[in-house]
Amino acid sequence: MQGFHIDSSDARRAYPPVRLALIGVGGMGAYHLNFIRELEEQGLVKLAAVADPLLAARSAREDFESRGVHCHSDYRDMLDRNELDAVQIAAPISLHFAMVKDCLARRLFVNLEKPPVPLIQQLNELIRLDRTIRVSVGFQHICSPQIHALKRWILAGKLGVLREIRIAGSWPRTSDYYARPWSGRMAFAGEPVYDGPATNAMAHLIHNVMFLAGDQSESFARPWDIQAELYRVRPIESYDLVCLRGSFVSGMSFTASLSHVTEKAVPFCVEVSGSEDWVRIGNDGKTVESSSGIHEFPDAPDLNAFSAYHRQFIEFAAGVRSRPPSTLQDCLGFIMATNGALVSSGGIHDIPSEFTRIYGMGGDMGYDVPGLTDLLEGSLREGRLFSELGAPWAVSTGRVRLAELRTLDLEALMNADRALTEEVVADQIGGRA
């Protein structure tokens, strides 16, 4: 892999500032604004306009307008009324599909927050519309030094023949998280969301698996089949606990066990093993451990990765870099795994309340599944699903083949009690493996 950092002084000389707009200025958008300001200070970007319904309030516009940034409450007005090169989308997931289509219709470069879209049919349509490749998907973890070091070791053959990738972790989510109207939803305002640990908060990890399994420095693999169990603990529409296992045509397998329902966080761990050696990225990405010892990284990967990701996107939009960090096509493996997971699970299974407990109050109120931390560790150690580890609430599921996955019907797959008939499965997927 070539170095992914270009000295900003070289880049500054190479192109005029990219005229950028931001859709969504609150939540994640506020975080994006920090990086945009950094790039503005380096002369690489000019923030030309922002759009958010929040900007209908005069007070919300003042700071932007004082810096000459045009404010709009409707993003379509913003696209119509400004001279732009690129747009950063940090709006809720349910809006991504329409927003990307509107940007592509105007031939703009797009930096789209992850996850790109919830459904495989939506991703395929965007890939079709993005023939000349203008969209980059903000899975910033693939720009982290840790993940790139690991991919270099894999491609250099240091682990021997790659056998397995396992990931696990739990990022607790309390009532405050679910206060956003689209959180914990399968659909919002008639548009798909499919919120949950594997499809939103910890989606980076699934995308990383596809990146690490790709056989070229910049390629992403696509899984061949998947077996998954999706569970609901908090009374939400979507799921908050998942385990899945899949394989690639090469025979390599992967497992992921991801949760929002432990009281104490379980920092994520990515473990890659081959015929000769193993490497483990642990402690939410702060440590890399291998048979030769432990290497500490001073910062969580996000900080370095976000900065590198934004710079790469701007260099791509300016024509200095030939490809963005992650194209829509690069997300196919992630979408196949997460869409296939819901089909394999046959919907979302409720964990009965006798196996769960509530902690905290008000905005800090969360759900915990006693014993889950051990199950997450067990799945990381043994590559097994919760039902195979003997969890009393777990439900065993079937494996599904992903090659012919074309559409996912969220409505049909919302609840496990509306069990799927074989015909419905066959409609969505080429059949059970």
Ligand X SMILES: NC(=O)c1ccc[n+]([C@@H]2O[C@H](COP(=O)([O-])OP(=O)(O)OC[C@H]3O[C@@H](n4cnc5c(N)ncnc54)[C@H](O)[C@@H]3O)[C@@H](O)[C@H]2O)c1
Binding site for ligand X (CB under 6 A): 23-29, 51-54, 75, 90-93, 95, 113-114, 138, 140, 180, 200
Rounding to the nearest 10 degrees, give the CA dihedral for residues 47, 53, 55, 60: -110
- The dihedral of CA 395, 188, 122, 211: what is its sign? negative
Helix (H/G/I), strand (E/B), else coil: 272: strand
Q: Closest distance between ligand X and the C-beta of residue 140, in Å? A: 6
Nearer to ligand X, 27 or 360 (CB): 27
Element spanning 279, H or E: strand 278-282
Distance of CA 410 to the CA centre of its chain: 18
Neighbours of 157 (CB within 10 A): 13
Q: Closest distance between ligand X and the C-beta of residue 87, in Å? A: 11
The residue number whose beta carbon is nearest to ligand X equals: 27
Nearer to ligand X, 113 or 225 (CB): 113
Rounded-to-integer distance, Cα 358 and Cα 356, Å: 7
> Which candidate, 298, 296, 321, places its Cα nearest to that of 308?
321
> Which residues make beta-bridge pairs with 348?
415
Q: Closest distance between ligand X and the C-beta of residue 337, in Å? A: 17
Do residues 316 and 18 make contact, with C-beta atoms less than 8 angstroms apart? no
Q: DSSP character for 67? A: T
Do residues 263 and 174 make contact, with C-beta atoms less than 8 angstroms apart? no
Nearer to ligand X, 53 or 145 (CB): 53
212 Cβ contact list (under 8 Å, min separation 6): 147, 150, 151, 154, 165, 270, 272
Q: Closest distance between ligand X and the C-beta of residue 27, in Å? A: 2
Nearer to ligand X, 90 or 120 (CB): 90
Nearer to ligand X, 120 or 203 (CB): 203
390 Cβ contact list (under 8 Å, min separation 6): none
Q: Closest distance between ligand X and the C-beta of residue 33, in Å? A: 11
Rounded-to-integer distance, Cα 255 and Cα 206, Å: 9
Q: Closest distance between ligand X and the C-beta of residue 120, in Å? A: 17
Neighbours of 14 (CB within 10 A): 13
Do residues 210 and 222 make contact, with C-beta atoms less than 8 angstroms apart? yes
Q: Closest distance between ligand X and the C-beta of residue 200, in Å? A: 5
Nearer to ligand X, 31 or 404 (CB): 31
Q: Closest distance between ligand X and the C-beta of residue 179, in Å? A: 9
Nearer to ligand X, 270 or 389 (CB): 270
Nearer to ligand X, 201 or 425 (CB): 201
